[in-house]
Structure 1
Amino acid sequence: MEPESPHRELELSALEAETEPMAAAEPGTPPQATLPHRDPSPPPEQLLGVEKNGLKMKIPPEEEEEAPLGGSGVSGSPKFTGLGKEELLREAGTPLWARARLVLLVLFWGGWIGMLGAAAAIVAQAPRCQPLPTKAWWELGALYRAPPKAFGGDLKGVEKRLGYLKEKLQVGGLVLGPVYPQKSPEAKIPPLKELDPTLGTRQDFSALVQAAKDKGVKVILDLTPNPAGNPVWGDAAKDSEVLQQVQAAMSHWLKEDIAGIFLDGIEELPDLVVAQWRNLTEQQPSPSGVDRVLVGGTRLQDPWRAPGGPQLLLGPFLQPLEPKGDAEAPEGALRNLLNFLSSNSSVGLGWSVGSPWETWVSPNLRLQQLLLLWGLPGTPVLSYGDELGLPRPPKNQQLPPMPWESIEAPKPAGNGSEPPELELCAALASLRAHERSLLLGEAWAVAAGSAMAVLRRWDQSERFLLVLNPHGAPLKPFSVKKEPGDPQEPPLPTSATVRYSTGPKEPGEQQLRLEELKVGPYQGILLGFPYSPQ
């Protein structure tokens, strides 16, 4: 059966529309105008479409605007469908568009080249970061010097307190000793190769070295034959047999993967012997590859008078900073120390307020000089109980154990329950570990009247100004206009922030003007201020 044609469908639709009954109007309703009938269906030729390029396309009818009531429909204007391909190509080839394209191309590449040039100029004019200097491990952290019995009596007690040294005081090296037994009456020196059995076994010592390594603490062994003596070596310094025994003991203990050797009284030994022992320490291979150090102790107050063999020299170098009669003024002594450091790169200095057996500073200057330990370039060295203010025992008496129960007891933060020395050391150790100016920076002795002032700076990091009053009367070090001095001396800021003070503590950080700074008797203040380009 053939399908009905479209014409037939249209005729049937028209008949159905005519036969439908009209709805009756409501009574009283005026008759509505009858609109001419409009067939919603498009003409058949539009349904079928037109043929173009062999394809039949369905073209919708043009919309007509509705005429007002009783009016007639008016055909709407045709829609704009854009330019055709041929028209676009024809317009693009005109001189106007050709010039426009050329201008846009020049502007685009000119903008890119200009931005690249501006970026290069900014990079060229920006201040360059100073390369970090190469520092040995003993220059980056503090050293702690004490005999094993100060940690609780044996090597296991030392191992137990490694966390305190590292976490509280940022200690990088532990100078431990003596660990050898007592000297027999007929021997010239103690048996330096042996381990005191009251301290533990060799396995305990190896376990201590490994535990310290895991904590980031390196062990330096004190092999001084008579550590508490004065003189330390005496006639033994010229005895070739004694010197050979010391060298053999050094070689023996270096096999234990320790990080170095400490020998006190280094100024009593021949320079050639010290040089040989340094070579032995540096050249004997370390199982873990650690750089080894020969640390020398001296009783001399002037480091330039000590032999130059050790890589690190410890001594009472801060003693001249205490006013004493006709001695050199403290500010002059400080300047001499800084000049020695800047002109001598072969030996580093370790700052300390005492040895495990004696103290080197007066009690009223103790906090001030502890501040110097972390404020000066070099290595801060704490000896037995320095961070707690422990007094030294009378001469030739044994050191008492440290009060570990009190140290390790939990304390609420910020209630002042810790000794002021421990609070100062912990705060400055943490600050030095995070501030490049204190850890790596150069040091300048700044004119400050009768006070001492040291400026620490590194590249674009925060600067620090350490101001110390070693006298018994208050001072205003920057109240007088500064006389022209060293033209290379860096200028000071007009104001700074108090980062730490050994005097009365103010709540929060205190901002003050330098010309108004007042430093109390025996007080030390650490000021900080930001980098400012000249």
Structure 2
Amino acid sequence: MSKSYNLEPLAYKPTPENSYPSEKSQQYDVSSPESIDVKLSDNNTTSGTPFRGMGKEELLQYSSKPFWRRLRMICISIILLGWLALIITVVALVLIYPKCKSPDSRTWWQNEVVYRIYVRSFKDSNGDGVGDLDGVTSKLDYIKDLGAGVISLSPTYEDDGSDGDFHLTNHMKIDSAIGGDQGLQTLITKAHEKGLKVLLDFIPTHTSDQSVWFKESEAAKLRNNSYRNFYVWTNTPTNWKSVYGGDAWNESSVRTGEYYLHHFLHNQPDLNLRSPQVKAKLNEILVHWLNQSVDGFYIRNSAYMFEDYDLRDEPKRSSGDGYNDYNHIYTKNLPEIYDMFARWRTTVDTQMNRVLMADPDPKSAVTEMMKYYGHFQRDGVHLPIRRRPFPSNCNGQCVGNYVNEWMNNLPSGRWPTWSFGDESVKRLASNHNESFIRAFAMLTMLLPGTPVLYYGDEINMMDVTANASLTSRKHPSRGLMQWDNTDNGGFSNSSSPWIAPSSDFRMNNVKNQSSKGDSLLSFFKNLTTLRREDSFRIGEYHSALVDNSIFSFVREFDGKKGYLVAINFAETAQKRDYTSSHSTIQTKASFDLTTGGSESFDADTDVDPSSLTLGPMQGVVVSWDYVAKEL
């Protein structure tokens, strides 16, 4: 509805010339409000609103004056500056304020514990006294319940029947004595159904002298025979020594006047990995087992894959004539091994989620071991397995050096490993008491990296009395797995297993330890459960307090609990303030796990990391809720 206005005429004086002024001559003195008397007969008054009722042209006339233009510009500038300041503030907060980190991607071989099995000693399924693949299959639930996710099998290939593990005659067939190809396929199928992975050993360095390859090579008279250079031959032997003693060259009874190289036993001739034919055969072996759904390989004796092309004599380091009296610059750790790793990595990477492990020479410098991960911008193996190098009396600083020299040299984007043992070194329990084993287990299970556990270490198995020869299968570390207190520890119902059982199997076995909540076996299960927490699985690692007695570290991830792992490697109790060693450690923490020991911890009582006492050889894990970092 439109509004009506009643305008009274303006007062003015008539002039003699005109009774009424014309439009042009009509003037108002706008400087004098008294001269204008405008009344609006609307219901609203115009008091206090001087521009109300003006037409568009009049409003534009006023708004175009300098005062109003300046006022508008000032208001617009204030608004724009305010928006700009707000944007700058938001950007600054995004850039400066500590951000929650995205979790690094992890694959199965980074998340899982590797359980290393010496097949002949694990479980005999058919009563012949020899452990077999069906025996391993029967214990998959035990392995899974332990918390391991990867099974790494000792050499399982067809051999010549000698008393050794590396006398191979066929790399692409499983030895019938331990179950044959069908036994392996059953194991892989059942393991995969339970979410477990299976790795095979890969032995590229040598074969048995009964191998078809060697027989063909030895019989080759013509240089165009494809097998002639499958092995390393010479008619002028060097001063090279075998790892097991004696000369590394053996004269052929067929190729008269020629010698073949053997880094190990005389009936284990070395393959010539410089030969294109040998490289092709080895790659064919990998592809064969990958096609059988094997999840990866452990490359054995990897430091010995190549030798000097010119077969030069090695320099002496001492006056003797044994293996250790020479400097093995021409027969071990040659740079060509990294090229082979890169080739095999390419083959393995053609199929998703497969892994390569390898065993660097334990006497090599850590910086040399790091090359196993990759060299000259080429990928190497995923997991170099470093055997533990520390002495039996290793203290906190010693353990710290062991951890830090690996972590500090680790190439960007690579993943560490921590080994308990394998079939070629003495068992932990033969050199250390259970308190140290628990402390070492807590260390290696909760550090970032992949732990490699040797079967039986979880129940404190010790070396057995056996043939101590390094060339024999009956190595002391290969004792029968102790399942229960029945004859042969439940390994076999045979009256004569291939190796004698340990003397303590009646008391120390899986069955007995499973019934005790404080057993070493239960402790391992607690560790494998704890390491599944996000802070351990994908979290950051920070070294904390380290001294002659204590080694400690922090694992944390934004938005998740923080954990302090503190271990006392001394023979006396130690009290320390850990809060000053890392900024996120809180003075009020919760108890999570201990190795046991003289100092007791209560799950219902808060722990104060600023005044924390650990007993001799005792470790503890405490945690605190995530605290957001402030500016």
Q: Which TM-score band (shorter chain)? A: 0.5 to 0.7
Cα displacement (A) at 1:463? 1.0
SS of the equivalent of 1:428 reads helix
Structure 1 residue corresponding to 2:538, chosen from 440, 448, 453: 440
Q: TM-score, normalised by structure 2?
A: 0.56
Identity of aligned residues (%): 21
Q: How does 1:288-299 map to 2 (within 5 A)?
A: 289-299=351-361
Which of 240, 259, 263 is matched with 1:234 structurally?
Answer: 263
Residue identity in the other structure for 1:492: I
Q: Report the 3-state secondary structure (helix = DSSP H, G, I; strand = E; otherwise coil) of the residue aligned with 1:495.
A: coil
The answer to whether the Cα contact below 8 Å between 2:572 and 2:615 also exists between their aligned partners in 1 is yes
Amino acid paired to 2:407: L
- Say which one has the larger Rg: 1
Is residue 356–residue 384 contact of structure 1 (8 Å, CA) maintained in 2? no
Residues of 1 paired with 2:114 and 2:201: CA distance? 13
Kindly indicate whether the alpha-carbon contact (under 8 Å) linking 1:282 and 1:291 is maintained by their aligned counterparts in 2.
no
Is the contact made by 1:374 and 1:380 (CA closer than 8 Å) also made in structure 2? yes
Distance change in 2, residues 1:347/1:527 (3 Å): same
Note the alpha carbon deviations across 1:203-229, whole angstroms, 9 max, x for none. Answer: 2211211111111111110134799x9
What whole-Å deviation, never above 9, does each CA across 1:414-462 have from its counterpart, x for those lacking one? xx626732111101111111x1111111111112443111111111211
Which residue number corresponds to residue 439 of structure 2? 368
Inter-partner Cα distance in structure 2 for 1:350 and 1:440: 15
Partner in structure 1 of residue 340 of structure 2 = 276
| Residue 117 (structure 2) pairs with residue 146 (structure 1) | yes
- Pair 1:403-2:482 in alignment: yes
Query: Structure 1 unaligned runs (5+)?
Result: 1-93, 96-116
d(CA) in 1 for partners of 2:402, 2:134: 42
Pair 1:427 & 2:520 matched: no
How far apart, CA to CA, are the structure 1 residues paired with 2:344 and 2:384?
Answer: 17
Q: CA RMSD in A?
A: 4.0
1:523 to 612, 618, 630: 618
Task: Give the distance between the partners of 1:208 and 1:333, measured in 2 at CA.
Answer: 36
Instruction: Indicate how the Cα distance of structure 1 residues 417 and 478 shifts in structure 2: closer, same or farther if over 3 A, else same.
Output: same
Note if contact 1:448-1:478 (Cα within 8 Å) is conserved in structure 2. Answer: no
Match of 1:60 in 2: none
Aligned partners of 1:238 and 1:347: how far apart in 2?
A: 31
Q: Which has the higher contact order (CA 8 A, sep 6+)?
A: 2
> Which of these residues, 147, 163, 183, is aligned with residue 141 of structure 2?
163
**Match among 245, 250, 275 for residue 286 of structure 2:** 250
Aligned counterpart, 1:498:
591
Does residue 1:180 correspond to 2:209, yes or no? no
Alignment-derived partner of residue 102 in structure 2? 131
Aligned residues of 1:320 and 1:328 also touching (Cα < 8 A): no
CA distance in 2, matches of 1:151, 1:282: 35
**TM-score normalised by structure 1 residue count:** 0.65
**Partner letter of residue 524 of structure 1?**
G
Give 1 or 2: higher helix fraction.
Answer: 1
In 2, distance between residues paired with 1:230 and 1:423? 40
Kindly indicate whether the alpha-carbon contact (under 8 Å) linking 2:590 and 2:603 is maintained by their aligned counterparts in 1: no
CA distance, structure 1, for counterparts of residue 400 and residue 195 of structure 2: 37
Q: Which runs of 5+ in 2 are unaligned?
A: 1-42, 45-85, 125-130, 208-241, 246-261, 306-333, 373-379, 486-508
1:217-366 → structure 2 map (5 Å cutoff): 217-224=196-203, 234=263, 239-240=271-272, 244=279, 246-269=282-305, 270-284=334-348, 289-300=351-362, 303-306=366-369, 307-308=371-372, 309-317=380-388, 319=390, 323=394, 329-341=398-410, 344-345=411-412, 347-359=414-426, 361=428, 362-364=431-433, 365-366=436-437
Change in 2 beyond 3 A, CA 1:478/1:147:
same
CA–CA separation in structure 2 for the residues paired with 1:503 and 1:279: 47
Describe the superposition over 1:235-282 as per-residue Cα deviations: whole angstroms up to 9, x where unpaired: 679640696565443333222110111023333334434433443354
Tell whether 2:149 aligns with 1:196.
no
**1:10-21 mapped onto 2 (5 Å cutoff):** none
CA apart distance, 1:409: 4.7
In 1, are the aligned partners of 2:388 and 2:421 still within 8 Å (CA)? no
Instruction: Please state how far the C-alpha of 1:141 moved relative to its aligned partner.
Output: 0.8
1:303 Cα deviation (Å)?
3.6
Equivalent position amino acid for 1:373 in 2: T
1:493, CA displacement in angstroms?
A: 1.6
Say whether the 8 Å CA contact 2:569–2:617 is kept in structure 1.
yes
The alpha-carbon deviation at position 195 of structure 1 amounts to 1.3
Residues in 1 aligned to 2:564 and 2:482: alpha-carbon distance in whole angstroms = 34
Give the Cα–Cα distance (whole angstroms) in 2 for the partners of residues 182 and 175 of structure 1: 19
Q: Tell whether the 8 Å contact from 1:310 to 1:347 is kept in structure 2 after alignment.
A: no
Code of the aligned partner of 1:258? V
Determine if contact 1:237/1:268 at 8 Å carries over to the other structure.
no
Aligned length: 404
